Amino acid sequence: MFITTFAFTVCFAVWMMFGVTGIPIRSQLQLDSTEFGLLTATPVLTGALFRLPLGIWTDRFGGRRIMLALLLGCAVPVWISAYATALWQFLLLGLALGVVGAAFSVGTPYVARFFPKEQRGFAMGFFGAGTVGAALNMFVAPFLIEQYGWEMVPKVYAVTLVITAALFWIFSAPDPARSGNAARSMMRQLAVLRNPRVWKYCQYYSIVFGGFTALSIWMPQYFTTEYGYSIAQASLLAAAFALPGGAFRALGGWLSDRFGAHAVTWWVLWIAWICLFLLSYPRTELIVHTVEGPLSFGIALPTWLFTFLLFVLGIAFACGMASTFKYIGDDFPDSMGAVSGVVGMAGGLGGFLLPIMFGAILDWLGVNSSCFMLLYGIVSVSLVLNFLTEVRRAPVMGEEVVPRGR
């Protein structure tokens, strides 16, 4: 579990690379907000799309082999990206290196099968804490950029992937015995996706993981444009969101084991809803006409309060990621590769689309906090869905209502 979590941490740091290196690249290529969003989100697309097939291959061939191939294969495009000079080159290489983000769908079923059902939530939460790689990227990449230029970041990351592959193969355990899934055809494995609960979990994960990924990419440039910080300072402040988003995922897994996946998900959505409401309020200047003349004052979140709300939001998203996979571990123990693959793909697609939408809305409205407005609306939809299908236990799309133990 420890070496697999370490490997996933490295993969996630590489996956988020353009969130920091994209800032000097944006200046170099003179990109607008939409193009910047596309640059940072492109690796997330392939990381999302490959989660389903890699999850299925993990069920069939074992997580140890697939993880090793993933680490070694992605090191090549990461290294080459240091020599890109045009946007289309970054986009193509981003598609190739982004496959490293699918490591989650490999490691989740691989780790979970070593543990009994009552400990599976904590185990998957502990592994999922590898998303702390987003924060690691925010510490390492700015240092390398300031010392050697952005081109050094992908070179260091590529070498790290190769070293991680060697360590993983040495210290990881052979895959535990699997059920008959290994002999099943891909179509039979995919049959479980007809269950409407799978798509409900996709919607949850698209906001908790997709929102976490998108904000991890977007926050460094947000701090530079909204508050005027340098890349190093902005990345350090943005780590206040990314770090708890990974570190508290194990806590979310433990809470899900203790109180149930629904209870954790319900409170996660409410906390995120409150935080996003406050973060959405734009910097505002008001003039009130009084009897003694006009009185002007401003409304804006100071840096410390903004960072604190991000910190709380990161904890909420971390617990929500863990509770979603607790649902999967409880409901689909024999099809975890396929189900975690499609749910992870939905989360990754959210992480791909959201930065592009952030950029497009920013170009349209010109309001930095518009990214939080968008997330606030999505969380509101998730709250309604959770209320209808879990609190009231109403069927969704013909789903059979089965009482869930707490």
- Walk along the chain (406 residues) in steps of 10 and give the mean pLDDT of each run: 90 90 91 88 86 79 87 94 92 92 83 77 77 85 91 95 94 71 54 75 86 87 88 86 76 83 88 94 86 83 92 91 80 71 80 88 89 93 82 47 43
- The answer to the question of residue 397 being in a domain is no
Residue 240 lies in a domain: yes
Please report the pLDDT score of residue 200 as a whole number.
Answer: 82
Q: How many other C-beta atoms are found inside a 10 Å radius of the C-beta of residue 364?
A: 11
Residue 276's alpha-carbon distances to 177, 240, 372, 374, in angstroms, are 44, 16, 6, 9
The pLDDT of residue 251 is 81
Please count the other Cβ atoms lying within 10 Å of the Cβ belonging to residue 381: 12
* Residue 119 included in any domain: yes
Domain coverage including residue 384? 2-176+186-391
Domains: count for the chain: 1
- Tell me if 398 is assigned to some domain: no
What pLDDT, on the 0 to 100 scale, is given for residue 292?
82
CATH number at residue 345: 1.20.1250.20
Report whether 128 contacts 104 (CB < 8 A). Answer: yes
DSSP annotation string for 308-375: HHHHHHHHHHHHHHHHHHHHHHHH-TTSHHHHHHHHHHHHHHHHHHHHHHHHHHHHHH--TTHHHHHH
6 inside domain:
yes
Considering the domain boundaries, does residue 263 fall inside one?
yes
- Kindly state whether residue 271 falls inside one of the protein's structural domains: yes
Q: Determine the pLDDT at residue 403.
A: 44
In a domain, 149, yes or no: yes
